[in-house]
Structure 1
Amino acid sequence: MPAARHLSTLDRLLVEAQRALETTLGDPPPARPCPADAPDPVLPPPARRHAAGLMRINHVGEVCAQGLYFGQAAVARDPATREHLLHAAREETDHLAWCAQRLRELDSRPSLFNPLWYAGSYAIGMLAGLRGDGWNLGFVVETERQVEAHLDEHLDSLPPADERSRQILRVMKDDEARHADNAERAGARVLPPPIPQVMALASRFMKLVAYRI
């Protein structure tokens, strides 16, 4: 069996650049089929714009999750923690692809600021990772719990006829809960104040911007 290739610093930079481009400007394929199998409803224009705004927020959330997890994995000290983060990121790629597909069905587009969202999340992920693997996993738990909460809000706020979007968000919510549970079992530390509050404030700002742009 061939030995694993040792990546140079340049190799690692190129890998991270490719991940960033695929996440923000590409169209990475999902590993799982899209869970939306309900008919696409004919929504009146205001309801369609509202559904698109919510799905754009969720798409941005997945862009941020990719940036966060890849940033954390880049500096993770324990190989098991790194693999945990990369596995979660692979599942978030499914979410990213499903949200992008639903945006196209709604005749809309992703956020124009996706490269900025990714870059900021990647930087936060690296800072979290540099504090140690317990903090690394703690950020996973807090991120996923906050995402679960806003997915619940979106499930309530979507137009009643838009079952396709709901089917996607339900599967995403189950995945996010599992990521948080796995991180807790792997030794996540509880983030002290004011970190969760700052994360929630940043999330509210992102949602306000991403809903429209």
Structure 2
Amino acid sequence: MTDERISTAFILEDFIEAQQWLIGALEIAFPGISIELADSIQSAKKVLTNTKIADINLIDLKLPDGSGLEILRDIKQRRRSARCVITTIYDDDKHLFPALAAGADGYLLKDQDQQLLADEMQRIRQNQPPLSPMIAKKIMGSFARETTLTLDESLTPRQLEVLRMIVQGDSIQNVANKLNISYHTAASHVRGIYEKLGVSNRAEVAAKAFDLGLS
């Protein structure tokens, strides 16, 4: 299982109280982490120009001078492996799915308990998307609706079952245990799902759902 080292962080947030809340969550999740701050799009661009792209980036959606998605895209362009997690108060589909489609690796509601935020952030270490429970439920709900998948992109009933589990954050081993199948078989299902949808991780699966009209 992947165990990524997270030693640097960047927070884009315009409210000081929210900045401190997120700093606290990061320090709980990753003791000793080095943190850079910005409170606007312009100040974020200066930070990104003058420092190395951080391992984990917490990005608010609404800033005084624009959308945090602009910075998210910039970070991903400069360092594709950098983890970008949206931290926001918006829990509706019109904010969630465009963020995932833009490349967000996770989506957290910053008004939740600080320890819960830290616990979700730690999922990055296992290459799993940090998702607030309400957000995970919304993503799951999108797969329960009638889809517009083409025949080439259609999934088997078993693949749909596995898909719902991995979007919730289940590891391949957990999928295997819950379905009483071998790890190899579970991994094969996941690989088939990713190939059919043209994605490479769980966050991209959710974004694909938005692109295909599943939300």
TM > 0.5 fold call: no
TM-score scaled by length of structure 1: 0.30
More RCO (CA 8 Å, sep 6+)? 1
Bigger strand share: 2
Bigger helix share: 1
